[in-house]
Amino acid sequence: MRFSERPALRSPWLLGPLGIAAVLLAWSLISLSGAVDPLFLPSPPAVWQAVVEQFQEGILVADAIASIRRVFLGFALSAALALPLGIAMGSNPLICRLLEPLLGLIRYMPAPAFIPLLIIYFGLGELPKVLLIFIGTFFFNTLMIMDAVKFVPQELLETALTLGGRGLPILTRVVAPYIAPQVIDAYRINMASAWNLVIVAELVAANEGLGKRISLAQRFLRTDEIFVGLIVIGLIGLLIDLGFRAVLRRSCRWAS
């Protein structure tokens, strides 16, 4: 505990699953008690049934792939462009002065507000959805990488200079390894917004995808399918998050 002096639990990793189990239990009890209309709160078996159906029809996997693909394309573009720009802004005060106010401003424009514009420009295909994810994550990625570069300790850079280092080698051999954990963590955090945005984009207009499935289910009052969508979205997000954490642990043993 950060703020108190309680002794550590013997197996604290049990707490997370315990919390989830408690919610599942409460859900089962409420729907068994019949206090809430199943139309509003489908029972766990009904939701599981919907999962099996969607899986057998193949739409669950197709939806998941469609959403993941959009997130991956948009985020890969964002991550790949944010890295050099963030490093340039973090290491060159002039570039920073020029761009930081602009990026700081755009960052506060909610990405979903760009959807109408993107539809007018690019129609209803894949491109506007990928671009939405790009817009929603690029500025955060860039500014977080810029900050990481700005906080590389001066001593580490100056030591490299006095050891005979110059320009590019200092960038690749001092700055890059130092910021790596923070960059991976920035990607992990902003990936959550990418995952939110793809659902928003699909709610507005799409032929397939997990968000699309939810909005269809709403039209037919299929709350069980909405639950499926929500749970699958949550699980995929969690897996991506765990993936980033694993990469961080593996690649940056020194930082933990």
List residues near other proteins by CB under 8 A: 153, 155-156, 158-165, 169, 173-174, 177-178, 252-255
Report in angstroms how near the CB of residue 180 gets to other proteins at its nearest: 8
Report in angstroms how near the CB of residue 255 gets to other proteins at its nearest: 7
Report in angstroms how near the CB of residue 253 gets to other proteins at its nearest: 8
For other proteins, the closer of residues 40 and 254 by Cβ is 254
3-state SS track over the chain:
CCCCCCCCCCCHHHHHHHHHHHHHHHHHHHHHHCCCCCCCCCCHHHHHHHHHHHHHHCHHHHHHHHHHHHHHHHHHHHHHHHHHHHHHHHHCHHHHHHHHHHHHHHHCCCHHHHHHHHHHHHCCCHHHHHHHHHHHHHHHHHHHHHHHHHCCCHHHHHHHHHCCCCHHHHHHHHHHHHHHHHHHHHHHHHHHHHHHHHHHHHHHCCCCCHHHHHHHHHHCCCHHHHHHHHHHHHHHHHHHHHHHHHHHHHHCHHHC
For other proteins, the closer of residues 28 and 92 by Cβ is 92
For other proteins, the closer of residues 74 and 181 by Cβ is 181
Report in angstroms how near the CB of residue 249 gets to other proteins at its nearest: 14
Report in angstroms how near the CB of residue 182 gets to other proteins at its nearest: 13
For other proteins, the closer of residues 2 and 166 by Cβ is 166
For other proteins, the closer of residues 14 and 156 by Cβ is 156
